[in-house]
Structure 1
Amino acid sequence: MHRTQNPTGTAADTTTELVVTPALTLRGAADYLELRGWARARYYSGDGAFPSACALGAIGMAAHGCRTSIPTTALLETQGDFRRAAGYLTIYLNEQGIGSFHSEGDTDLTDIVGWNDSDCQTAKNVIATLRAAADEYDWEHASEDDLETYAENELDNDRIPAREGFLAWLAAHR
């Protein structure tokens, strides 16, 4: 095909569709907090388009791409991305013994608020926990092909495959 002709369909290897996973949103929230600062007791602290934020505010910024008055109920098409990331973080916090599951499948966002606003909480811990939750999501949802490719690469280089190695490999191959 000549370079000026329009293709009749997309080639299999040229897709640019980004799949927004909870891991991607949680890492974006951690990056946002590192850049803009962490807050407690409110979604955002300060004025402007990109203020410091609490964990939910940062997840909102990562999911929605802009400041919303209440990120948990923003009527945007990205609300599903926000809900999936916040829901997964709630599950992760509960699995770590932080927060409280009330019933199977309950993703009460007050667990995130209580965790974020705790007197002993720090920005460093919030950012590290967001990244750890993202890593756990990637580990739990890794494709069989990715796992096999990583394991083969490690074995070919006389290394033993491990979770941390896989997560580093996955980050490098995104």
Structure 2
Amino acid sequence: MDIMHPTDHQPAVTGVEQTPAQTLRGAALYLERHGWIQGDYYRPDATGPFPPACAVGAIRMAAFGSRITDDDCIAAEMRDHARAIDVLVDFLDLTDPPPWDTYGDPSPFTWNDVPGRTADEVTATMRGAADDWDRMHRGAE
């Protein structure tokens, strides 16, 4: 009998969505397993189904389960993706406020691409945002 790890992407079930915390933890695990990059969603020259990714690319992989374009988005998974991004941005505003915000709008793309940023920093921040969301929503979902 196969048992899924709690951070593995769960199969889509109509009417059931992942919490942002689950999506963020899945994204952190994805980065640890497949690698982290800066400057693009996924490493452009990567082949295979699980390319190294930036923070947002990893969130997409955790929400959708595969490399996906905006045109291929499914509503439930898009909601999972958007909620996880929002939670990450809110957490960054509290814990790592801009100067990385160079365009007047906090962006996880910009935060991911700061020179000197590390994969460990990205995964720790994702897990911190997930833990923070869990603390604030205990029993609410």
> TM-score by structure 1 length?
0.63
Q: Which residue of 2 aligns with 1:86?
A: 85
| SS of equivalent residue, structure 2 residue 107 | helix
Question: Which of 123, 135, 138 is equivalent to 2:134?
Answer: 138
Identity of aligned residues (%): 42
Higher relative contact order (CA 8 A, sep 6+): 2
Q: Provide, for residues 87-124 of structure 1, a one-character-per-residue CA deviation record: whole Å limited to 9, x for no partner.
A: 11011101114245x6xxxxx5x621111001110001
User: d(CA) in 1 for partners of 2:17 and 2:64?
Assistant: 15
| Structure exhibiting the larger radius of gyration computed from Cα positions | 1
1:11-160 correspondence to structure 2 within 5 Å: 19-45=17-43, 46-70=46-70, 74-77=72-75, 78-99=77-98, 108=105, 111-143=107-139
Query: Is contact 1:55-1:112 (8 Å) kept?
Result: yes
Query: Is contact 1:25-1:81 (8 Å) kept?
Result: yes
> TM-score by structure 2 length?
0.77
Which ranges in structure 1 are unaligned for 5 or more consecutive residues?
A: 1-16, 103-107, 145-174
Stretches of 4+ aligned residues off by more than 3 angstroms: none
Which ranges in structure 2 are unaligned for 5 or more consecutive residues?
A: 1-14
